[in-house]
Structures are given as C-alpha cells and as structure tokens.
Amino acid sequence: MANIVVVGAQWGDEGKGKIVDLLTESADVVARYQGGHNAGHTVKIKNRQFILHVIPSGILHRGKTCIIGNGVVIEPRSLIEEMEELKRRKISIGKNLHISGRSHVIMPYHMVLDSKHEDSKGAKKIGTTGRGIGPAYVDKMSRAGIRMVDLLDGKVFREKLKANLSDVNFLLEKKYNTKKISVNKVYSEYMKYAEYLAPFITDTVVLINNLIEKGKNVLFEGAQGTLLDIDHGTYPYVTSSNACAGGVCTGLGTGPGNLDGVLGIVKAYTTRVGGGPFPTELQDELGEELRLKGGEYGATTGRARRCGWLDLVSLRHSIRINGLTGIALTKLDVLDGLDKIKVCVAYKYKDPSDSCSCSRKGKACRFTDFPQQAHVLEACEPVYIELDGWKKSTKGATNLKALPKQARAYIDYISESLGVKTDIISTGQKRDEVIVIKNPIEKTEKR
C-alpha cells in the first residue's frame, strides 16, 4: 500500500478529478494541497456529473477522510455553496471533511483587486479567473493574510480586517476610482461563514501525520497543472501556487519521506486556458474538432480551452519537476478517427534579435529542454513526428486488448519517449471507462 501524489503534468484540465475518484477506492484519505476555487474537477458517475472546486474528489466516496490543506486559499461563501450543493445531491458531509486552520481566506477585496488589476493590463492579460486567488496569496506572502483560524476569534479577525482595509480602500479610491469596502459589512458576513465552517476547521498538520503514522493510504490531490506552477510554469502566465508535487509538503505539512509515488495526469493531446505561450496549439478546424469532441470548456468558468498536439518537451520538464513514477493518460478516445497524429519532440527557435546566447547565435536553435522564458517559448515552433491514427473506437475500453494496435503504439511511444510507464488509460468520461494497468496505491500490476 502507498501514499500517492496525483498531479497535472500539463497546463491543467488533464482529468485529475476522474483519476482521483478512481484511486480513492484504494485510499483512506484524500488531501488537497494548493490552489483555490479557480480550479474545477469533474467526476462523472453513471449519469450523474459532479464538479468540485475546493473539496477533494474523495468526498464522493463513503468512509473516506477528506482534507483541505493549509496551501489552499478558501473563499468561504463558495465553499459553503459547494458543501450545500453536495448535501442537496445526497453526498454526506460531516466528520469526513477537515479544513486547515492555517488556510488563508479569500476576502471580498481580493476579488475586486484581482479583476481591477487584470483589466488594467489590457492586451497583456494573463487570463485570471478574477476570483481573488492571486491577491490572497500576495497577502499571505506579505504577512497580511487572514487565516481560517482567525475567523474563529472575532476580535482578532476584526483587527486584521480593519488594518487591511485601511490600505486596500486607499488603493481602491485613489488608483481604481472604486468605492470603499465597509469593515462592518464584511465582518458581519464573514462571522456567519465562520459559524457554519467552525466544526470543520482543525489542525490538519497533526491530523494527516497521525493518519500516515497509523498506516492509512493517502491520496494527495493537486489542482491546475505543472506548467501553471508559480516557480516552474510558463511565468508570468501561471497560477499563484506550487501546483507541482513539491507543493504537497508545504501545502499539507508532511515530509517528503511520506510520499511513495507521483502519478502524472497527461491528456492524450494538450490544452490550456487563458493567455500564454502554447507551441503546439492548433488554430484551425482540427483544433476546434478536438475542443468540441473533448468538451474542452472550463469546469469553473466555462471558457473554451485552446487545443493542440501532445508536447513531449513540456512533459519531460514535468517529469523532472515532479519525479513522476507513472502516467495516467486521459481522453484517448478524443483522438479516435484521425488518420495521423502528431507529437512534438522538440522546438525550433531563432531569436528575432539575433541575440541568442547559445553557440548557434543568429541561427535556428533546436530545444529539447523546456525554455525558462515565456517570450522564448512564444517564438518556438514545434518539431513533430507523425504516427498512424486509428479508426476503431476506443471509447469505454477496459483492457489493452480492446484497443486498436495504432492506439497501443501511440501509448507505447509516449511511455518509451518519456521513460515513464503508463499505468492508467482513460477512455471516456464515466468512472468505469478506464484501463487500469497498475494501481499505484495497491501496487498491483497487469501488463
């Protein structure tokens, strides 16, 4: 048995929710370690679809302990709405859900600042959801944040709120020409949230480490994806937290020695939402076909996702950053019916200013490693190899033998190129539309 991290290996939206839901059967605990309600995990069980934003996907299973770690930023109203919606749909929420008292709170002024700051960028917008995630993390790092545990002490909360709004209201009035936010109004609103959430707030660092010491299997659930990681993604077109596997230790307060493996979720093609470089993007009919067939619209915002071919250069970067021990390949069925499938194996780049620092100054460079600078990546052209597509449907397949030989060849090529085995293959949206070659928690393997 094992403690496993599930992490997105691309720009998010890889299908982590379904894989976490699948592996939860073998886990005792599901713990979310970063991000906020800007993320959305979609899980389809028979004819019922659930979209989760902050609550771990394990909540859909009875008898599982779900933890929202200190690395997550929480907007109380949306969390309560999510809880109430799950209750309405007969999902039990009680002693199975625990919220870290160290989690930082998204305040109303964070959302206002988020949208105002994004609007001020004009054509250089990052594509933020405007939900206050970034500003909440800014306050956290500047040591001005309000934490969930602060909501439990009205006096402490009011003092911190008053101090923060003194600065925020000056900014809103003088820079953004926006009306001030009332201390009393926010205080009254958030005290109601505190009363509702108080039974769920606890010291999750003690909780999760005690569970690990007792031999419980923990599934660590990330949001977004590695290429959106604040340190290792396509900065500045990134999220505001560490979405890679390293975020587990800081976002939940447990040591790396407690991690037994990292499963990278890889979509069979590539998508991203919002602005930023995307070398393999298809801005043609095929890109639109992938979008429609794959239902590539954000679970949280409904925004259309940009679609393109699989990118091995970025995936090699994700493998290094996360130390992936296995891959879960998702949405294989979306590629059904294509005559040929392209895979990016390198980038071709020529610095338009002829100031490239490599030995081929002034000439086209070939990158097999992911560039550090967004403007360099923006100017990169993909170098493709072409593989045979398949006409037979893979949708709903539950074993490798049911896949066309070309589909198996595609999977093998990905694994061999990356040096990481494919453990799970998703062949549709539903929970049972999956091929499990190896369960990383149970360590059972069927190759």
What pLDDT, on a 0 to 100 scale, did the predictor assign at position 338? Answer: 97
C-alpha to C-alpha distance for 336 and 333, rounded to whole angstroms: 5
What pLDDT, on a 0 to 100 scale, did the predictor assign at position 360? Answer: 54
C-alpha to C-alpha distance for 216 and 240, rounded to whole angstroms: 30
What pLDDT, on a 0 to 100 scale, did the predictor assign at position 1? Answer: 73
Residues forming beta bridges with residue 261, ordered by sequence position: 4
Nearest residue to 31 via CA among 180, 185, 245: 245
C-alpha to C-alpha distance for 167 and 183, rounded to whole angstroms: 12
Which two three-digit tokens encode residue 29? 């605990």
For the four alpha carbons of 314, 316, 322 and 325, in that order, the dihedral sign comes to: positive
What pLDDT, on a 0 to 100 scale, did the predictor assign at position 341? Answer: 98
Catalytic residue among 21, 28, 37, 41: 41
What pLDDT, on a 0 to 100 scale, did the predictor assign at position 263? Answer: 98
What pLDDT, on a 0 to 100 scale, did the predictor assign at position 266? Answer: 98
What pLDDT, on a 0 to 100 scale, did the predictor assign at position 120? Answer: 65
Which residues in the chain show pLDDT less than 70? 40, 119-128, 299-301, 351-363
Please report, as a single letter, which amino acid is at residue 9. Answer: A
Q: Is 150 a catalytic residue?
A: no
Three-state secondary-structure class, residue 191? helix
What pLDDT, on a 0 to 100 scale, did the predictor assign at position 264? Answer: 98
Cα atoms found within 13 Å of the Cα of residue 106, Cβ hemisphere only: 25
Three-state secondary-structure class, residue 68? strand
> DSSP for 11-22?
SS-SSHHHHHHH
Question: pLDDT digit string (tens) for 358-413?
Answer: 555 545 789 999 999 999 999 999 999 999 999 999 999 999 999 999 999 999 99
pTM of the full structure: 0.91
Q: Are 265 and 7 in contact (CB under 8 A)?
A: yes
Nearest residue to 327 via CA among 419, 237, 407: 419
Which two three-digit tokens encode residue 443? 């360590």
What pLDDT, on a 0 to 100 scale, did the predictor assign at position 127? Answer: 61
C-alpha to C-alpha distance for 351 and 346, rounded to whole angstroms: 16
287-291 own/partner pairs: CB under 8 Å, 24+ apart: 290/334
Give the phi and the psi of residue 64 in degrees, each rounded to 5.
-105, 140
Identify whether 236 is preceded by a cis peptide bond (ω within 30 of 0): yes
Question: pLDDT digit string (tens) for 298-348?
Answer: 766 678 999 999 999 999 999 999 999 999 999 999 999 999 999 999 999
Question: pLDDT digit string (tens) for 23-33?
Answer: 999 999 999 99
What pLDDT, on a 0 to 100 scale, did the predictor assign at position 50? Answer: 84
Which residue do the tokens 């093998």 mark? 412
Nearest residue to 131 via CA among 15, 223, 11, 220: 223
Burial category of 388 from C-beta neighbours within 10 Å (exposed 0-12, middle 13-18, buried 19 and up)? middle
Nearest residue to 424 via CA among 104, 23, 102: 23
Catalytic residue among 13, 21, 311, 423: 13
Q: How many CB atoms lie within 10 A of CB 173?
A: 12
What pLDDT, on a 0 to 100 scale, did the predictor assign at position 177? Answer: 85
Q: Is 13 a catalytic residue?
A: yes
What pLDDT, on a 0 to 100 scale, did the predictor assign at position 350? Answer: 74
For the four alpha carbons of 431, 9, 392 and 336, in that order, the dihedral sign comes to: positive
What pLDDT, on a 0 to 100 scale, did the predictor assign at position 44? Answer: 75
| Longest alpha-carbon distance in the chain | 66
H/E stretch holding 294: helix 285-294
Three-state secondary-structure class, residue 383? strand
Which two three-digit tokens encode residue 226? 């590695």
What pLDDT, on a 0 to 100 scale, did the predictor assign at position 390? Answer: 97
